[in-house]
Amino acid sequence: MPQKVRIALDAMGGDIGASVVIPGAAISLSRHPDTEFLLFGDRALIDAELAKHPAMKAVSRVIHTDVAVSGHDKPSQALRRGRKTSSMWLAIEAIKKGEADVAVSAGNTGALMAMARFCLRMLPGIERPAIAGIWPTARGDSVILDVGATIGGDAQHLKALAVMGSAMASVLFDLERPTVGLLNIGTEEIKGREEIREAAELLRKLDLPQMKFIGFVEGDGIGQGAADVIVTEGFSGNISIKVAEGTARQISEFLRAALARTWRARIGYLFAKIAFKALRDKLDPNKSNGGVFLGLNGVVVKSHGGTDAEGFAYAVDVGYEMVHYDLLTKINQMLNRDGSALSPAPAAQEAVS
């Protein structure tokens, strides 16, 4: 673990850019004073923000570029236009050069993943990257992966997700042996997809001291906190997390409208304000901001593009935790225990085209 956690920020990423990124990082810095920042982007914009945040300015180095990846760029376009030059690329490359321990960007997910894969390459033993999300549950938080890096995947892929997700959960939630469940459905005689049943077999055999496989979890089990880590391929993972976000938003809006409808309800709201604040905090999407790219030689955190400074701060926090508790070493240890945790197929590493 380095003395200080060195975080590279794509200061041009997201819907707003520097004026969210820098205040956000400043909030995170106040929680983790042992942080240093590399800020990639338009120096004029960055300096203007740093002037308002002297503590942040004191621990930051600015590297100027005026090339920014747009939210609408396709991954291939972003690579073509922004490789070696864009704030996003440079933030990632700082990891490769050993100048930063983690990169955080609110830029577009596809471009960020393509650049991260291209620049950092996959970990030995991992064939495909994943994005891990944080899911607020009735028992605390769970990690869910993959929420959309790749679609589909065989049993080996699901096993790799389980290993990486457990490492992340142990780091984030300070757990010695996180529980791991495979997302599945339970209405068919032959339950769920073939590859999921195979993955269950593999995970039962794996028996690592750093994770505890508990079997299948259905869609309604995620929010109950049935497992610390929920493993699924990227299509259903993405659908799941978006359905949950959508449902939470829908209920909040309905409740807000219902509480404003009559004077009695409005009075009730005033009395129960603290309860509603607790609910709002609980449902605050900012708090689960920070998708972690796993499977690469380096940690990259993706913040929501539309987040505010508070939300961006959570994504920076996630990056901090990953480095501070040494996620990559943990993953590598789990992958290489007896050299047999995963049996990588001999296939060549995929390059983003």
- Under the rule (CB under 8 A), what is the footprint of its own copies? 74-76, 109-110, 114, 137-138, 148-152, 183, 185, 187-189, 192-193, 218-224, 232, 234-236, 238-251, 253-255, 258-259, 261-262, 264-265, 267-276, 278-279, 282-283
CB of 142 to its own copies, least distance (A): 12
Give the Cα separation of 326 and 307 in Å (integer). 26
Give the Cα separation of 319 and 297 in Å (integer). 14
CB of 168 to its own copies, least distance (A): 19
CB of 151 to its own copies, least distance (A): 6
Q: CB nearer to its own copies: give 13 or 110.
A: 110
Among candidate residues 211, 221, 114, 216, the one with its CA nearest the CA of residue 168: 211
Render the burial of 262-278: b for 16+ CB within 10 Å, e for the rest: eeeeeeebeeeeeebee
Give the Cα separation of 214 and 246 in Å (integer). 28
Q: CB nearer to its own copies: give 143 or 241.
A: 241
CB of 144 to its own copies, least distance (A): 10
Q: CB nearer to its own copies: give 44 or 272.
A: 272
In the chain, the amino acid numbered 30 is: S
List beta partners, residue 98: none
Q: CB nearer to its own copies: give 98 or 190.
A: 190
Q: CB nearer to its own copies: give 233 or 321.
A: 233
Among candidate residues 89, 141, 96, 88, the one with its CA nearest the CA of residue 318: 141
Q: How many other CB atoms are there within 10 angstroms of residue 331's CB atom?
A: 26
Among candidate residues 143, 172, 121, 210, the one with its CA nearest the CA of residue 323: 172
Coil, strand or helix at 253: helix
Among candidate residues 83, 51, 54, 52, the one with its CA nearest the CA of residue 67: 83
Give the Cα separation of 229 and 59 in Å (integer). 35
CB of 185 to its own copies, least distance (A): 4
Q: CB nearer to its own copies: give 271 or 340.
A: 271
Q: CB nearer to its own copies: give 131 or 169.
A: 131
CB of 220 to its own copies, least distance (A): 3
Residue 318's Cα: distance from chain center in Å?
A: 8
| Through-space distance between the first and last CA atoms of the chain, rounded to whole angstroms | 34
Q: CB nearer to its own copies: give 42 or 233.
A: 233
CB of 118 to its own copies, least distance (A): 13
